[in-house]
Structure 1
Amino acid sequence: MEVTKQYLRSPEFLADPYPLYEKIRNSNEVYHANELDAYWLMRHSDCDLLLKSPDFGKEIDDNFTSTSDSKKTSNVMEDPYRSMLFLDPPRHTRLRLLVTKAFTPKAVESMRPFVEEISTNMAKKGRNNFFFDVIEEFAAPIPAYTIAKMLGVPQSDMSKFKAWSDDAVLSLDVATGKEEQAKADQAQSNLLDYFQKLIDERRKNLTDDLLSDLIRSEESGDKLSHTELLVMCNLLLIAGHETTTNLIGNGFLALVRNREQFEMLREDRSLMKSAVDEFLRYDPPVQRVSRALYRDANFSGKLLQKGSVVTAVIGSANRDPEVFERPNELNIARKENKHLSFSAGIHYCLGAQLAKLEAEVAFNVLCDKFENPRLYEEPQWRKNSNMHGMQTLKIAL
């Protein structure tokens, strides 16, 4: 079938994109999405190559005519407001070095007590006697409060931050329309305005939060400029909670639908680390990542020309039977889980360890809260074909 923007926003695809991925992958071809003007890579080996090779880059600029996910996003992140998520070396290398110091294992682990406290509190705050919405009441607040605390954002501002972030990520979906793109642009503007004031305040009074660390951060005499600080805060806020919300929500839905796996995890918490990796593989929060080809390249026997925009379909690569045994089955004890959900190469997710920590804590709390979780109603999926997650996930009480 033809992959169109309309189909990417259909309830069928949003709820379960994997049958389509499997159909395309089994054709043994690199798929050209005509309306999207991009090539889709479905195999793990092809996606891994695309993500790791320096010959394929993130700077999809006006020389490329594609309407792919990354091209759309660059419209609201034009230089100098383009984040390192959409940069190549040496600009990417410089920014990553300056920010990495704020995400050391020690810094991430120091957040565990806070994540445990907020997760436990959220699990106790049922809003009614009939159901518990795992997304609204649990999965969304945990990473949002965590990254807000790290950045020094007051918790009282989190409701508007959540709304801005939800709108901003619409730009990451190739199927987003003009009206939604306008909302995304406005949300980005609101976030930048807010951080402008917060950075000005923090420069006058440095504390021990992440924003202060970013202001202090220096590498070989080089520091982040004011604009770079703005863009970095914006990126960290959005990336720091949107994807983790989806990880927790998608993972718990998978457990609800695979009861024996839930019972196994509930009885043996030593499986938690491998379980989180399996949730990331089985139903990844981010479905697609695009690159521009800086040279001609061969993928699965098809020669693609320099200048093409090529998309690694992470959701397909993570279910490639050439790499994963019984890929369509959830197996929380899976070994050597080579999923690509945090990308690969120089753009491997900077916040991967923080996301895993939050997820491990969250699933421990959910396993304590529920003995026999059942859906109160079918989940409502967000209208975003790339940032794959739910609007609601109501569990009966």
Structure 2
Amino acid sequence: MNFKSDLLKNRYASYEQYRGRSPFFDPDLNSHIFLNYEEVSYLLKSSELSSNRKKNQFDQLRQCPFSKNIVEFYDQWLMYMDGEDHKEARKLISSSLSKSTQKIEEIVKSAFSLYIEDTLLTHNNLDIAKHITTPFVINILSTLLGIEHNSYNKIIDTSKPIVMFLGNGDVGNENDRKKVLKCLKETQTLLMQSILDCKNSESVIGHLLRQGIEIEAISPLLINVVIDGYDPLSSIINNYFYIISKKTKVPTDITPNELFDEIVRLEPPFQYCARVATEDIYIGSYEIKKNERVMSFISAANRDPVFFKSANKIRPREKEFKHLSFGAGKHLCSGANLSKRIAVIFFIMMNDLNRRISLHHIEDKWINTVGYRTLENLVVNIEKRSIKNV
């Protein structure tokens, strides 16, 4: 039995296959694996684990050529920060995000009309992920952030190697580091120019500038939201279209808020959360030594049949047990509420549009790694409903 191999072949079947063994140590992933809801929920909130699970990788990087600026950048990434630095950075971002969303409904409705409604009503076959979701999400987030649409699109494309580099768990060769450094410089240059060009005083950048924060300090704060905010929202929108095009059963009495929670429960874009033990700890009778790595599989916990009845189906849920897709505790995703507000408005507008069109699945392609699962392509046929059926 090989957990990593089995997971990549059939993720959700492997969770059920290995759930009874959880927790266990996996040598291929060099980590303690946790799959069950109660354990994962506890670990996400535990103060005995550090979110700086890349410390060893960073320490090795510091000794390598072409690495100093890479490490300095990652040290300021919210998901790898702890303590007061994390608390203050999160506070600034959360406050600016909250203030920038006063006109969120107007922004989403405008993007929906421009990139979804008009496109779906005028095409027959379409790659939803490429031609609907990407421009829709880019438009909304660029407006909220105060970044020009094309600049934000370029930032997302340019920054992908920066995100993927850490996933390998090593320092890479010299060419790998040079490539990441080049992408990092390009991303930072684009961000700095976007900050200087920002004309929207009610955007995230606008609110940060109004607080008197130095431009050089805004860039590392902003990059967390710019990069980390894109994938979760895109995943939610793509998965909604996947569900309706595959004719997945959705209860008629489910509310938009409940539908959001079920979509992110069933298909979180980030599959696990990694931590490092800061001391020897026990989870029940299971021991984890200091400095050992822990992988808490959110996507497995979200389908734990002990806590979620009919765990693989979409249905209204009891409020007692919540999905863990946005983390928990002090590292709860600062953009979770924003994603929900945008998605709920989108669902309501799609309810109306679905009376005029019907989507039929043709093909799909997923990006599927140990830590990441998301739709890369989703091709559908769009059928216009006759007036008598509207």
Question: Shorter-normalised TM-score: what interval?
Answer: 0.7 to 0.9
In structure 1, distance between residues paired with 2:121 and 2:169: 34
- CA deviations 1:82-122 (Å, max 9, x no partner) are 21221011111111122221122x64342121111102221
Is the counterpart of residue 115 in structure 1 residue 98 in structure 2?
no
In the alignment, which of 38, 41, 47 is matched to residue 34 of structure 2? 41
Match of 1:2 in 2: 2
Change beyond 3 A, Cα 1:207–1:62: closer
Match of 1:365 in 2: 349
In the alignment, which of 267, 289, 294 is matched to residue 305 of structure 1? 289
Amino acid at match of 1:238: I
SS of aligned partner of 1:320: coil
In the alignment, which of 246, 252, 261 is matched to residue 235 of structure 2? 246
Is the counterpart of residue 354 in structure 1 residue 312 in structure 2?
no
Amino acid at match of 2:367: R
Using the TM superposition, give the Cα deviation of residue 213 of structure 1 relative to its aligned residue in structure 2, in angstroms: 1.1
Match of 1:101 in 2: 95
In structure 2, distance between residues paired with 1:315 and 1:156: 33
| Count of residue correspondences | 369
SS of aligned partner of 1:323: coil
Amino acid at match of 1:376: I
Match of 1:56 in 2: 49
In the alignment, which of 358, 380, 384 is matched to residue 395 of structure 1? 380
TM-score, L = length of structure 2: 0.84
Contact 1:293–1:309 (CA under 8 A) maintained in structure 2: yes
In structure 1, distance between residues paired with 2:343 and 2:141: 14
- CA deviations 1:179-233 (Å, max 9, x no partner) are 888755543332111112333455xx78332112123337xxxx5x544421122
Is the counterpart of residue 376 in structure 1 residue 362 in structure 2?
yes
Contact 1:36–1:66 (CA under 8 A) maintained in structure 2: no
In structure 2, distance between residues paired with 1:159 and 1:349: 22
Match of 2:157 in 1: 163
Contact 1:38–1:309 (CA under 8 A) maintained in structure 2: yes
Is the counterpart of residue 316 in structure 1 residue 300 in structure 2?
yes
Which range moved further: 348-357 or 381-390? Answer: 381-390
Change beyond 3 A, Cα 1:295–1:255: farther
In structure 2, distance between residues paired with 1:174 and 1:299: 27
SS of aligned partner of 1:132: strand
TM-score, L = length of structure 1: 0.82
Is the counterpart of residue 271 in structure 1 residue 265 in structure 2?
no
In structure 2, distance between residues paired with 1:181 and 1:382: 23
Change beyond 3 A, Cα 1:109–1:339: farther
Which range moved further: 40-49 or 250-259? Answer: 250-259
Ranges of 4+ aligned residues in structure 1 off by more than 6 Å: 64-67, 175-182
Contact 1:248–1:363 (CA under 8 A) maintained in structure 2: no
**Structure 2: tracts of 5 or more residues without a match:** 61-66, 383-390
Change beyond 3 A, Cα 1:79–1:182: closer
Change beyond 3 A, Cα 1:359–1:297: same
In structure 2, distance between residues paired with 1:66 and 1:325: 44
In the alignment, which of 66, 81, 87 is matched to residue 87 of structure 1? 81
Change beyond 3 A, Cα 1:32–1:381: same
SS of aligned partner of 2:72: coil
Which range moved further: 41-50 or 120-129? Answer: 120-129
Is the counterpart of residue 143 in structure 1 residue 137 in structure 2?
yes
In structure 2, distance between residues paired with 1:66 and 1:35: 22
Match of 1:71 in 2: none
In structure 2, distance between residues paired with 1:21 and 1:393: 25
In structure 2, distance between residues paired with 1:109 and 1:20: 43
SS of aligned partner of 1:78: helix
SS of aligned partner of 1:171: helix
In the alignment, which of 172, 192, 212 is matched to residue 206 of structure 2? 212
Match of 1:192 in 2: 188
Amino acid at match of 2:26: A
SS of aligned partner of 1:112: helix
Contact 2:6–2:14 (CA under 8 A) maintained in structure 1: no
Structure number with larger C-alpha Rg: 2
Amino acid at match of 2:91: L
- CA deviations 1:24-83 (Å, max 9, x no partner) are 1122x313221221122111111111111222111235447999xxxxxx9985235521
Amino acid at match of 1:308: E
Match of 1:70 in 2: none
Using the TM superposition, give the Cα deviation of residue 248 of structure 1 relative to its aligned residue in structure 2, in angstroms: 1.6
In structure 1, distance between residues paired with 2:293 and 2:157: 31
Q: Percent identity?
A: 21
